[in-house]
Amino acid sequence: MKTINDFNFKDKKALIRVDFNVPLNDAQEVTDTTRIEAAKPTIIKILEDGGSCILMSHLGRPKAKEAEFSLKHVVNSASEILGVQVKFADDCIGDSVKEAVDGLQPGEILLLENLRYHPEEKAGDASFAKELAAFGDIYVNDAFGTAHRAHASTAVIAQFFRDNKCFGNLLASEIVNVNKVLSDGEKPVTAIIGGAKVSSKITIIENILDKIDHLIIGGGMAFTFVKAKGGQIGNSLVEDDKQQLALEILDKAQQKNVEVHLPVDCIIADAFSKDANTDTAAINNIPDGWMGLDGATQTRELFASVIVKSRTILFNGPIGVFEMDKFAQGTVDVCTAIAEATADGAFSLVGGGDSVAAVKQFDFGNKVSYVSTGGGAMLEMLEGKTLPGIKAILD
Ligand code: AMP
């Protein structure tokens, strides 16, 4: 796997695909700089080598060249974080951009305008990719958030660089860390899969069954399993058409010697609301009119006891409706157990959408081994797919 550390960028122009698709407020100010900070190590290494950086990114989903999606709104934040005044090109291809690129000196950074102002970006257009490619000596992909897209700047462009292409630090560490779970995980390996729906997690579960020893199933998706096994789940979330699939998963897990841990009790509510009345019930005996929205004491203890004995942990999907305080404790307790195991030397990866949000919300970000930066991209990696942005560098 070639990374930026395999190159010396002295007097080279690095064309870097970053993910600066950051949230903006109504005043067009960046409200969360995580993604810019995540790209910093790659950019700094190139500048310190004596190279210059041409940054390409998309921002939002523009239909035309709408001003609200201009990457110029990101320039101030990026300059502050990178410690260098970032220059800005008001397009991403064309003569004026070429002029700005030609004038770029070692130590300088040029941010190109939103790639998605050109429909060719998402279409994966090869001639558009070739125009972009002409600006750089070396292509660096550091945009994990879009690595699952076969777009012009994320994948198609790589063919124009032969050997002069590599992963940035961020993308490289995402690959290394997911492989620590999927290929080289020290046993016992535990996957905690929660969240709303079985249907969105099924491919992940099927892909990881060969790699894990314990499967903890939490969140709304657990009720499809409980109902399929004959339990009374009241008004809890369920996907009736996935009950058969749930039973097949349980069967497969047994064949592969994977121990499955379903919730045994839950916090029930008479409405999906933070003001709902609540009670506790056995997971398979929930009264009509009530729904399970979090794991209760026995479930939390069961899950924690499995997690603290694990050496490799994947956390994907919350245990309950953690966005509401009343239903957050199951997820908090899982985070606490993961933190404890990690402090004890286990490797823990938090990946995919809402579990990342939960870990951040409850301040566990520094107590786990790795928090993935890419929602959809991480899900696809866990599903065992080869991401186009990664394949393009390896080819
Ligand atoms: P996902 O994106 O599939 O990981 O789902 C995450 C969402 O699942 C979060 O917004 C949670 O609030 C929600 N969730 C977790 N547990 C439950 C539950 N028991 N019932 C309904 N929604 C849930």
Digitized pLDDT (tens) for each residue of the chain, 395 residues in all: 999 999 999 999 999 999 999 999 999 999 999 899 999 999 999 999 999 999 999 999 999 999 999 999 999 999 999 999 999 999 999 999 999 999 999 999 999 999 999 999 999 999 999 999 999 999 999 999 999 999 999 999 999 998 999 999 999 999 999 999 999 789 999 999 999 989 989 999 999 999 999 999 999 999 999 999 999 999 999 999 999 999 999 999 999 999 999 999 999 999 999 999 999 999 999 999 999 999 999 999 999 999 999 999 999 999 999 999 999 999 999 999 999 999 999 999 998 768 888 999 999 999 999 999 888 899 999 999 999 999 999 98
Residue with the nearest Cα to atom 6 of ligand 1? 195
Measured in angstroms, how far is the CA atom of residue 287 from the centroid of ligand 1?
20
| Residue from 2, 197, 311, 367 carrying the catalytic annotation | 197
Amino acid at 96: S
> Coil, helix or strand for 353?
helix
Q: Where are the beta strands (DSSP E) in the chain?
A: 13-17, 52-56, 87-89, 109-112, 138-141, 165-167, 189-193, 214-217, 232-233, 259-261, 265-269, 278-282, 285-286, 291-295, 312-316, 347-350, 370-371
Q: What is the pLDDT of residue 352?
A: 77
Amino acid at 51: G
| Mutational test site, ligand 1, from 227, 321, 362, max ligand atoms within 8 Å of CB | 321
DSSP at 287 = P
In the residue annotation, 197 being an active-site residue is answered as: yes
| Residue from 60, 375, 376, 384 carrying the catalytic annotation | 376
In the residue annotation, 98 being an active-site residue is answered as: no
Kindly report the backbone phi and psi dihedral angles of residue 265, in degrees, each rounded to the nearest multiple of 5, phi listed first: -140, 170
Measured in angstroms, how far is the CA atom of residue 38 from the centroid of ligand 1?
27
Kindly report the backbone phi and psi dihedral angles of residue 13, in degrees, each rounded to the nearest multiple of 5, phi listed first: -100, 115
In the residue annotation, 185 being an active-site residue is answered as: no
Strand 165-167 with 370-371, pairing = unpaired
Measured in angstroms, how far is the CA atom of residue 293 from the centroid of ligand 1?
8
In the residue annotation, 35 being an active-site residue is answered as: yes
| Residue from 136, 353, 374, 389 carrying the catalytic annotation | 353
Please state the atom number of ligand 1 nearest to the C-alpha of residue 201: 3
The C-alpha torsion from 82 through 6 and 151 to 37, rounded to 10°, is: -20
Q: What is the pLDDT of residue 353?
A: 66
Structure tokens at 358: 């939960």
CA 114 to CA 20: how far, in whole Å? 10
Domains of the chain: 4-172 (3.40.50.1260), 185-382 (3.40.50.1260)
Residue with the nearest Cα to atom 4 of ligand 1? 195
Residue with the nearest Cα to atom 11 of ligand 1? 321
Q: Where are the beta strands (DSSP E) in 214-290?
A: 214-217, 232-233, 259-261, 265-269, 278-282, 285-286
Please state the atom number of ligand 1 nearest to the C-alpha of residue 200: 3
Measured in angstroms, how far is the CA atom of residue 336 from the centroid of ligand 1?
19
Point out which residues pair with 279 in neighbouring strands.
Answer: 268
CA 233 to CA 85: how far, in whole Å? 58
Q: What is the pLDDT of residue 374?
A: 81
Of 365, 331, 329, 332, residue with least CA distance to 349: 365
Point out which residues pair with 233 in neighbouring strands.
Answer: 286
| Mutational test site, ligand 1, from 354, 355, 372, 382, max ligand atoms within 8 Å of CB | 354
pTM of the predicted structure, to 2 decimals: 0.91
Residue ranges around ligand 1 (CB below 6 Å)? 195-197, 200, 219-220, 237, 292-293, 317-318, 320-321, 323, 353-354
Measured in angstroms, how far is the CA atom of residue 196 from the centroid of ligand 1?
4
DSSP string, 98-119: HHHHHTPPTT-EEEEP-GGGST
Answer whether 195's CB lies under 8 Å from 356's CB.
no
| Mutational test site, ligand 1, from 203, 237, 274, 334, max ligand atoms within 8 Å of CB | 237
Q: What is the pLDDT of residue 29?
A: 94
CA 56 to CA 141: how far, in whole Å? 10
Measured in angstroms, how far is the CA atom of residue 298 from the centroid of ligand 1?
20
